[in-house]
Structure 1
Amino acid sequence: MKFESFKAGVWKSRYQYKSFEPVPVNHTWLWEDPTINTLLESANRALGELNAFSLIVPDIDLFIEMHVVKEAQTSSRIEGTQTGMDEALMSEDQIQPEKRDDWREVRNYVDAVNLAIKELDTLPLSNRLLKQTHEILMQGVRGEHKQPGEFRISQNWIGGSSLADAVFIPPHPDGVPALMSDLEKFWHDESITVPHLIRLAISHYQFETIHPFLDGNGRIGRLLIPLYLVSHQLLVKPSLYLSDFFERNRANYYDALMRVRISNDLIHWVRFFLQGVTETATKGRNVFQEILSLRTEAEHKLLSLGKRAPNAKQALNLLYRKPMLSAGDLEKNLGVSQPTANALIRDFIRLGLLREVTGATRHRLYVFETYLSLFVR
């Protein structure tokens, strides 16, 4: 199928509405547009550079955790969840009661990402894995009664308050299993020659168009991107998340998806997606460079602590995973006494590595500001 002659699907009349029925995607794809080749080359180069850092940065998993939290917070924000990056790093008892529902959605996303990546060790990227991930995403939050972990058996819609005024109506539920089966085959079909990033661009569009779940489709569809890259070994670690790019270009993102459905303009979508991969991978590479520089500087400062340096090094590693914490967090995670934890915090404040942010006399929280700032700009 050539991009230039692609027909995205048909609008089929239902009772009082029309659903969009997309065509299957599991076949070879070709294009004449030379811009796609250039964008594909740039995206692959940027992705390779990002992956190189995953291979050379010591204790890379410490920093991947922050990438996951950033993705969870940003992807959830696209769906209207109002949880700040600092709040996403807090424990539930530190969150104001009226904000806990949003906070749980973000933390569910973190749990869902971590489980899905771990499952890739034993499971291929599959509908089964997406269903398991969706079930975790929906636990105990808005949408928990909308068939968590199962493809929908009723009609959903995007935008508007009902089917009557919806912006877009995905395919009828009867067609969802076959469409998702076709999409799963597309991920793994070695008999067709399609570059991975092109395959991934088409897959994200197709998933969002099918909208197979009653809720959480945006988040699962965006999570599909790093899952695909890791499962096909384009990335060793889940270090690329496009939610930040999509959120910053939200109107263009939704417009690009709709242009495929309405005008068959798959070329515009693929260009947009490849641009997003390039920008996001380049930004991720730069963040890793800054992390390495910050790490060298911080560890040099710890040398001045003498016999307290070993505990301080453990505390620093904890801060890479959790750059906002309390003295109690240090006690629990390092297995040290309260006086030792308090002494470490005083040392870190003196060295310019921590700042107290509550202004309270009890239940104080401290932030590793220079590190956290790398993920919130």
Structure 2
Amino acid sequence: MPRDDALIPRSRRAQVSGDYEATVTPLIADRSSIPLSGSLAADVAGAEAAITRFDERTGANLAGFSVIALRTEAAMSSQIENLTAAAGSIAVAEHAPPSNGPHKSNAELIASNVATLLAALSRNSPLDTIEVIELQRILFEDSAPRLTGRFRNQQVWVGGSSYSPHGAVHVAPHHERVPAAMTDLVAFANRTDLGALAHIAVTHAHFETVHPFPDGNGRTGRVLIQRMLRSAGLTRRSSVPLSAGLLTESTRYFDALNRYRDGDVEPIIGTFVDATFHSLNNADQLVDTLSAARLRWTDRVVARSDSAVWPLLEYCIGHPAITIKAAVTALGVSEVAVSNAIDRLVSLGILHQNSPARRNRIWLVSDVLDAVEDFMDRACRR
């Protein structure tokens, strides 16, 4: 609550004064099991199998999807927090220099979420609290660096007013309890004897209950979902944009988090199961659209088998905005070869330049951007 009562409307002061109750999270690192009803256990097994099949199918047939999946995951996770931007704006923001001033566009904030996901999936060591803090730092390093580098040192809450925790939907644990709670949670997250999807769902719900940061808890928590899916071996070649499924039923998702805080674990696990199938169905349509686009491209391109045009086409599937510098690094070919390949794809209408600028040029892949926009639209349909 602000120290100066003058900052609070007189009509609200009585409502935001006095004691309040903050959550005290139980220790879960050593819990014996995650109890599931028979039907939910079967649904969890089915969802895990579906993720594995999807990962194998897309990894074998559309290698570029693993990159585009991370971008759709970042966009959908951000949209759960009411951060929205067009797919093209997000793609450009990944390459453009950060804007001056403290206020960043939604596209820039979402691009930071992409960077956070890439960092999380580059790790293969056990999770620790240092990594959790680092992931949140990457998320906010350009927009609010003052909020990074440590767990929070203040009270936070969800819902209610901005003046005080009184009337909040969830009052997170007192900040002095956060370090111990996160050490316990990380130990729980690293267990390998609790299945996969149910374990991930409970870890996520507990993370959101602890709410260890002053901001970015939702996005950081959903990055950890992807980290754990990879660590559990459910995803190896690709990623599942699970946030798209959570967004489809966001009210149910938030309600399940609240029910977890009341001691009921099944709603959040059931929400993750249904979100898995929603997101996989949506992602399947995205894969089909991108595969069809690739076929159209290859039918239109006439080039030698060793031409840089062919690897650039594959690169375009996962990168809806490209630069010469990024393509040279990714493909391991010369700048001249990449520049010539880009010109060829521009002439065929596969690429178009984002602006007439002659420096820091960015080219967009319209077919991929359209496919991603359609994916995002489907995820928003309740």
Match in the other structure for 2:370: 373
Distance in 1 between residues matched to 2:242 and 2:322, nearest whole Å: 27
The CA deviation at 1:207 is 0.5
The answer to whether 1:251 aligns with 2:254 is no
TM-score by length of 2: 0.79
User: Are 1:74 and 1:243, in contact at CA under 8 Å, matched by a contact in 2?
Assistant: yes
User: Are 2:321 and 2:363, in contact at CA under 8 Å, matched by a contact in 1?
Assistant: yes
**Residue type matched to 1:188 in 2?**
N
Distance in 1 between residues matched to 2:202 and 2:343, nearest whole Å: 54
The CA deviation at 1:89 is 0.6
Match in the other structure for 2:70: 68
**Residue type matched to 1:43 in 2?**
A
Partner secondary structure for residue 376 of structure 1: helix
What do the CA deviations read for 1:40-95 (whole angstroms, capped 9, x no partner)? 1220121111121254236x2x3322222222222223223342211011132698
Match in the other structure for 1:291: 290
Cα separation, partners in 2 of 1:154 and 1:342, compared to 1, 3 Å: closer
Cα separation, partners in 2 of 1:207 and 1:335, compared to 1, 3 Å: same
Cα separation, partners in 2 of 1:38 and 1:331, compared to 1, 3 Å: closer
Distance in 1 between residues matched to 2:353 and 2:23, nearest whole Å: 53
Cα separation, partners in 2 of 1:366 and 1:265, compared to 1, 3 Å: same
From 33, 52, 55, the equivalent of 2:56 is 52
Give the aligned length. Answer: 349
User: Are 2:243 and 2:279, in contact at CA under 8 Å, matched by a contact in 1?
Assistant: no
Match in the other structure for 1:17: 20
Distance in 1 between residues matched to 2:260 and 2:337, nearest whole Å: 60
Match in the other structure for 2:344: 344
Cα separation, partners in 2 of 1:171 and 1:326, compared to 1, 3 Å: closer
The CA deviation at 1:354 is 4.0
The CA deviation at 1:165 is 4.0
Match in the other structure for 1:212: 212
The CA deviation at 1:206 is 0.4
Cα separation, partners in 2 of 1:97 and 1:309, compared to 1, 3 Å: farther
Cα separation, partners in 2 of 1:354 and 1:38, compared to 1, 3 Å: same
Cα separation, partners in 2 of 1:307 and 1:52, compared to 1, 3 Å: closer
Cα separation, partners in 2 of 1:49 and 1:95, compared to 1, 3 Å: farther
Distance in 1 between residues matched to 2:329 and 2:194, nearest whole Å: 49
The CA deviation at 1:348 is 2.0
The CA deviation at 1:256 is 1.6
**Residue type matched to 1:274 in 2?**
V
Match in the other structure for 1:113: 117
Cα separation, partners in 2 of 1:47 and 1:341, compared to 1, 3 Å: closer
User: Are 2:28 and 2:188, in contact at CA under 8 Å, matched by a contact in 1?
Assistant: yes
User: Are 1:208 and 1:217, in contact at CA under 8 Å, matched by a contact in 2?
Assistant: yes
Partner secondary structure for residue 172 of structure 2: coil
From 285, 300, 313, the equivalent of 1:316 is 313
Cα separation, partners in 2 of 1:99 and 1:370, compared to 1, 3 Å: farther
Distance in 2 between residues matched to 1:343 and 1:17, nearest whole Å: 64
The CA deviation at 1:339 is 8.2
Partner secondary structure for residue 233 of structure 2: coil
User: Are 1:230 and 1:238, in contact at CA under 8 Å, matched by a contact in 2?
Assistant: no
Distance in 2 between residues matched to 1:197 and 1:329, nearest whole Å: 35
User: Are 1:327 and 1:345, in contact at CA under 8 Å, matched by a contact in 2?
Assistant: no
Match in the other structure for 2:146: 145
Structure 1: gaps spanning 5 or more residues: 1-13
Distance in 1 between residues matched to 2:260 and 2:371, nearest whole Å: 35
Match in the other structure for 1:11: none
**Residue type matched to 1:336 in 2?**
V
Cα separation, partners in 2 of 1:132 and 1:362, compared to 1, 3 Å: closer
Aligned-pair RMSD on alpha carbons?
Answer: 3.3
User: Are 1:328 and 1:341, in contact at CA under 8 Å, matched by a contact in 2?
Assistant: no
What do the CA deviations read for 1:120-171 (whole angstroms, capped 9, x no partner)? 2xx2122222111111111020x3212x131122211112213234332111
TM-score by length of 1: 0.80
Partner secondary structure for residue 213 of structure 1: coil
Distance in 1 between residues matched to 2:127 and 2:328, nearest whole Å: 39
Query: Equivalences for 1:93-242 in 2 at 5 Å?
Result: 100-120=104-124, 123-141=125-143, 143-146=144-147, 148-159=148-159, 160-161=161-162, 162-190=164-192, 193-242=193-242
Distance in 1 between residues matched to 2:367 and 2:306, nearest whole Å: 20
Overall identity of the aligned pairs, in %? 22
**Residue type matched to 1:319 in 2?**
C
The CA deviation at 1:336 is 2.4
What do the CA deviations read for 1:315-345 (whole angstroms, capped 9, x no partner)? 3133223323578987998612898467414
User: Are 1:87 and 1:95, in contact at CA under 8 Å, matched by a contact in 2?
Assistant: no
What do the CA deviations read for 1:168-226 (whole angstroms, capped 9, x no partner)? 21111122222222212222335xx4221111111111000010111110011101111
Match in the other structure for 1:33: 37
**Residue type matched to 1:42 in 2?**
G
User: Are 2:116 and 2:223, in contact at CA under 8 Å, matched by a contact in 1?
Assistant: no
Structure 2: gaps spanning 5 or more residues: 1-16, 375-382
Cα separation, partners in 2 of 1:348 and 1:286, compared to 1, 3 Å: same
**Residue type matched to 1:311 in 2?**
A
**Residue type matched to 1:39 in 2?**
D
